[in-house]
Amino acid sequence: MSIPSYNVSNIFLAESRFSRTSSVSDLNQSKKHFTIDIEPINLDENIFNIALNVTFFSTSASSEEHEVDFFIKMIGLFEKIGDHSEIPNDYFVNVNAPAIIFPFVREHVSSITAKAGIDAVLLPPFNFVDNYQKSLQNDQEGRKVD
C-alpha cells in the first residue's frame, strides 16, 4: 500500500509586470498594498495547476500616485500520488499549493525591486490557512473574500 502524497512537478513564472516612477520615496515610509489571488487553472482528479497572482503597489505619504507597482503570476504544477489522501483536494489547492509557490513569488519580488534601484520589497509571510478558513466562512454566509 502506497502512502498518498502530492508531488511538485514544476513551479514557473508565467507573468511579471513591474513599473516605478523616476523618483521613489523611502519604501519604509510609504503606504504598501498587496493582494493575493489563488487561481486554480486545471483541476483534474490527480493533476493540479495552480496560479498564485500577487499585486502590489506603494504610494508616498504625500501622494496617491503609485510609485512602485507590480503584478506577478507564478504557476505551480502538482500531481497527486496514490488513491486517497488525508489532505482534501480543496484544502491542498487553497492552502498547501499556494504556500509552496509563495516563497518563489517573494524571491522574484525582492530580486526585481532590488534590480530596479530601490529598496528590495520583502513581502510579509501570508497565512493561507487563515485565508482559506475566512473564504469558507464567507462562502457559507454568501459573501466573497476581499
Task: Write out pLDDT tens, residues 91-137.
Answer: 999 999 999 999 999 999 999 999 988 888 899 999 999 999 998 98
For the chain, what is the domain count?
1
Q: How far apart are CA 11 and CA 100, in angstroms?
A: 9
CA distance to 105, 108, 134, 137, per residue, from 142 (Å): 31, 35, 12, 9
Closest among 40, 34, 125 to 91, alpha carbons compared: 40
pLDDT band at 1 (very low <50, low <70, confident <90, very high): very low
Q: Is 108 within the bounds of a domain?
A: yes
Helix (H, G, I), strand (E, B) or coil at 86: coil
Packed helices 128-141 and 97-115: angle between N→C axes, nearest 10 degrees: 120
The pLDDT value recorded for residue 117 is 87
We report the CATH number of the domain holding residue 133 as: 3.10.420.10
DSSP 117: T
Reported as a single tens digit per residue, the pLDDT across 60-81 is 877 778 889 999 999 999 998 8
Q: Which range of residues forms the domain containing residue 85?
A: 5-141
The pLDDT value recorded for residue 84 is 66
Q: Is 109 within the bounds of a domain?
A: yes
Q: Is 146 within the bounds of a domain?
A: no
The pLDDT value recorded for residue 4 is 59
Q: Are 128 and 99 in contact (CB under 8 A)?
A: yes
The pLDDT value recorded for residue 82 is 78
Q: Write down the pTM of the prediction.
A: 0.86
The pLDDT value recorded for residue 130 is 96
- DSSP class per residue in 38-59: EEEEEE-SSEEEEEEEEEEEEE
Reported as a single tens digit per residue, the pLDDT across 11-56 is 999 999 999 988 877 777 778 899 999 999 987 878 899 999 999 9
Q: Is 58 within the bounds of a domain?
A: yes
The pLDDT value recorded for residue 43 is 79
CA atoms within 13 A on the CB side of 60: 10
- What strand order describes the sheet that includes 5-20? 5-20, 66-81, 47-59, 31-43
Q: Which residue has the higher pLDDT, 91 or 138?
A: 91
